[in-house]
């Protein structure tokens, strides 16, 4: 578990946890830390986690529980078709891991942050300064980053990942401007929400260009009366593939197009 892993690094107690945003894979473990730990998040993250509604949102149902069910079906089929004993054993171990994950999912109790911010917060502990910053909406409406000025490091949550982030709850139009706020910080090391730690700011600038292009193409197709499903097939971002390998083939996640269309029709459209 995460707490056990931390204990292999230090015997110091966990006193603070930061939810970079409200998605299940970043905040649904809050309950394991107990009431004495300060859990920090944006006001929006607290609101979205304050009740059972987060268990019914599209993000969790499609990427969380829905993904588990799909993976179960696929692994069971592959096991039944496997002719090599070694390969079958590997698949069976994977199935056991997924079963354990599913069992843990059943224990989830969404637990909101108990300390929130609407813009910025700074913690000073000994010689270490920890800045928690909100620059605007991007991957969600509550994305925050953790900036360590002395170490020149920033942890970004899924606003920045090594590849591409989920867009079903996103504000793609605003994403590049929010990233500009991150770029204003003095850092050389980035801990992204998913993927490997990387150096420098070039990847962030590449993401800005990608999101601008995504938004422009989606809104243009909407104005032409193209459905979200068809638009998701037509959008071609392959010119960004040199910097973002995930863009190597045409087409995008329809959930991101749905979101752009929803916000174009209603700027206050709720997440699905």
Q: What is the pLDDT of residue 38?
A: 98
In a domain, 162, yes or no: yes
Closest CA to 154 of 125, 124, 190: 190
65 — pLDDT class (breaks 50, 70, 90): low
The β-bridge relationship of strands 115-117 and 120-125 is unpaired
d(CA 270, CA 56): 13
Q: Residue 261 pLDDT more than 80?
A: yes
> Tens of pLDDT along 55-64?
677 777 676 6
User: Mean pLDDT over all residues of the chain?
Assistant: 93
In the predicted model, what is the mean pLDDT of residues 130-143? 98
Average of per-residue pLDDT across 224-241: 98
pLDDT for res 205 = 99
pLDDT greater at residue 271 or residue 231: 231
42 located within any domain: yes
Whether 113 maps to a domain, the answer reads no
- Phi, psi (rounded to 5 degrees) for 160: -135, 125
Position 112 in a domain: no
Residue 114 located in a structural domain:
no
Assess whether 123 and 206 both reside in one domain.
yes
Claim to verify: residue 208 and residue 258 sit in the same structural domain: yes
Pairing label, strands 198-199, 128-133: unpaired
Residues 142 and 261 in one domain: yes
Q: Check residue 147 and give its pLDDT.
A: 99
pLDDT of residue 217: 99
The answer on pLDDT for 267 being more than 90 is: yes
Last residue of a domain, one of 36, 70, 105: 105
Residue 58: which domain range?
Answer: 53-105
**H runs (alpha helix) in the chain:** 2-7, 24-27, 43-49, 58-60, 66-81, 85-105, 175-183, 202-223, 228-234, 254-265
pLDDT at 61: 67
Long-range contacts from 244-248, C-beta under 8 angstroms, 24+ separation: 244/163, 244/164, 244/206, 244/207, 244/210, 245/163, 246/163, 246/164, 247/164, 247/210
- Does a structural domain hold residue 271? no
The residue-averaged pLDDT of 135-161 equals 98
Same-domain check for residues 205 and 89: no
Same domain, residue pair 90 and 46: no
Q: Are residues 239 and 249 in the same domain?
A: yes
- Please tell me whether residues 151 and 172 are part of one structural domain: yes
Please report which confidence band the pLDDT of residue 7 belongs to, taking 50, 70 and 90 as the band edges. very high
Residues 130 and 183 reside in one and the same domain: yes
For 69-107, the pLDDT digits (tens) are 788 889 999 999 999 999 999 999 999 988 887 887 778
What CATH number did the domain enclosing 123 receive?
3.60.15.10
Are residues 238 and 248 part of one domain?
yes
In this model, does residue 116 exceed pLDDT 80? yes
* Same domain (yes/no): 76, 174: no
Number of domains in the chain: 3
Is 21 part of any domain?
A: yes
> DSSP of 118-158, one letter per residue?
SSEEEEEETTEEEEEE----SSSTT--EEEETTTTEEEEET
> For position 165, what pLDDT does the model report?
96
Instruction: For residue 217, tell me if it sits in a domain.
Output: yes
Do 238 and 192 belong to one domain? yes
What pLDDT, in 10s, does the model give residues 27-57?
998 999 999 999 999 999 999 998 766 767 7
Instruction: Kindly report the pTM of this predicted structure.
Output: 0.87
Residues 126 and 100 in one domain: no
């Amino acid at each position: 578990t995460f707490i056990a892993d931390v204990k292999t690094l230090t015997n110091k107690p966990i006193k603070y946890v930061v939810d970079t945003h409200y998605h299940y894979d970043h905040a649904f473990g809050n309950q394991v830390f107990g009431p004495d730990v300060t859990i920090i998040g944006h006001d929006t993250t607290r609101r979205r986690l304050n009740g059972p509604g987060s268990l019914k949102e599209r993000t969790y149902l499609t990427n969380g529980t829905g993904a588990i069910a799909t993976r179960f079906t696929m692994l069971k089929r592959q096991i039944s078709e496997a002719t090599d004993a070694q390969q079958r054993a590997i698949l069976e171990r994977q199935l056991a891991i997924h079963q354990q994950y599913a069992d843990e999912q059943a224990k989830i109790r969404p637990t909101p942050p108990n300390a929130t911010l609407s813009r910025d917060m700074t913690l000073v502990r000994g010689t270490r300064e920890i800045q928690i910053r909100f620059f605007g909406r991007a991957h969600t409406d509550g994305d925050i980053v953790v900036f360590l000025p002395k170490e020149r490091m920033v942890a970004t949550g899924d606003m920045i990942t090594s590849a591409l982030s989920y867009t079903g709850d996103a504000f793609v139009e605003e994403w590049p401007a929010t990233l500009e706020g991150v770029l204003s910080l003095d850092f050389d090391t980035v801990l992204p929400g998913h993927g490997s730690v990387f150096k420098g700011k070039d990847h962030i600038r590449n993401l800005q260009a990608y999101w601008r292009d995504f938004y422009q193409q989606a809104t243009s197709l909407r104005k032409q009366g193209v459905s979200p499903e068809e638009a998701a097939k037509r959008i071609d971002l392959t010119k960004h593939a040199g910097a973002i390998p995930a863009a190597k083939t045409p087409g995008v996640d329809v959930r991101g197009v749905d979101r752009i269309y929803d916000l174009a029709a209603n700027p206050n459209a709720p997440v699905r």
